[in-house]
Amino acid sequence: MAQKQSSQGRGRPADPEARAARRLQILQAAHRCFVRKGFHATTTAEISSEAGISIAGLYQYFPSKEDLILELVEQDLAFNAALIDRLLEGDDFMAAAETLLNTIVNDPQVEALARVRLEILAEASRSSAVADRLSFSEQHLQAAMVRAILVAQSRRQIDPQIDADELATAVCCLCDGIFGRLCLPAAVRGSFVDATMKLLRRATAPKP
């Protein structure tokens, strides 16, 4: 009995569901801290306090702040992949894209996500591990965008003569710019969704 108590008394839940919930709790706390203060200004003590656990408990799940940001890259990938999937839900690719962009740019949670994404990009310039993970994520998003474009082309929603890989690259770059724009004060952002969609419609409209 004493041995059982000892093995369960070190702060790491044995139940996989409890462990997954604790990981998510820590990630959400780290995300809030990074939004407020940035990656490097945030201490592990602040993250553990925000998550309501000890620093030792935090290290059992994430041995370093870099491990936290690597996991946040995975969350960012899942979020963006889900957005790409939504582009194919309607009968009009560009209309779906415009609706989606207008929705996310007015979502405070997406604005917070954009701020952390900039932190991730900055960290990728200093950390090879973060750069590698981010490159892997971007390759998957690029592939997902190509698939979405090919479907839209097969439906004659996008000019089938356009190279899908080139268009996917351009769209991903535009999306990076949009997320960066969300970090600016609302008063100076401009009507960037409208401008982006007008550009895309002109560039991708099927030829008569």
Residue 31 shares a structural domain with residue 114:
no
Name the DSSP class of 40.
Answer: T
48 lies in the same domain as 77: no
pLDDT above 80: residue 44: yes
- Kindly state whether residues 168 and 198 are assigned to the same domain: yes
The residue from 9, 44, 63 where one domain ends is: 63
CATH for 27: 1.10.10.60
Shared-domain flag, residues 169 and 194:
yes
Q: Are residues 27 and 93 located together in one domain of the fold?
A: no
Residues 48, 95: one domain? no
H or E stretch covering 206: none
- Residue 38 shares a structural domain with residue 85: no
- 149 and 202, same domain (yes or no): yes
Percent share of the chain, pLDDT over 90: 49
Question: pLDDT digits over 113-137, tens only?
Answer: 888 888 888 889 999 999 999 999 9
Tens digits of per-residue pLDDT, 72-83?
Answer: 988 888 888 888
Q: Of the candidates 21, 44, 63, which is a domain's last residue? A: 63
Pick the more confident residue, 196 or 89: 196
Encode pLDDT of 183-199 as tens digits: 888 777 778 888 999 99
Domain end residue (candidates: 35, 63, 91): 63
Give the C-alpha separation, 96 to 101, whole Å.
Answer: 9
Instruction: Quote the tokens at residue 202.
Output: 């002109």
Q: Determine the structural domain holding residue 47 and report its residue range.
A: 1-63
Asked if pLDDT for residue 2 goes beyond 50, the answer is no
* Shared domain check, 137 and 156: yes
As for how many domains the chain has, the answer is 2
Q: Within 10 Å of residue 154's Cβ, how many Cβ atoms?
A: 10
Assign residue 124 the CATH number of its domain: 1.10.357.10
Task: Give yes or no for residue 3 having a pLDDT over 50.
Answer: no
Looking at the structure, tell me whether residues 1 and 92 fall in a common domain. Answer: no
Q: Which of 7-11, 99-103, 125-129 is predicted least confidently? A: 7-11
| Phi-psi group of 13: left, alpha or beta (phi > 0 → left; psi -120 to 50 → alpha; rest → beta) | beta
- Are residues 208 and 139 part of one domain? yes
The reported pLDDT for the residue numbered 178 is 86
Domain match, 84 and 141 both: yes
- pLDDT value of position 106: 83
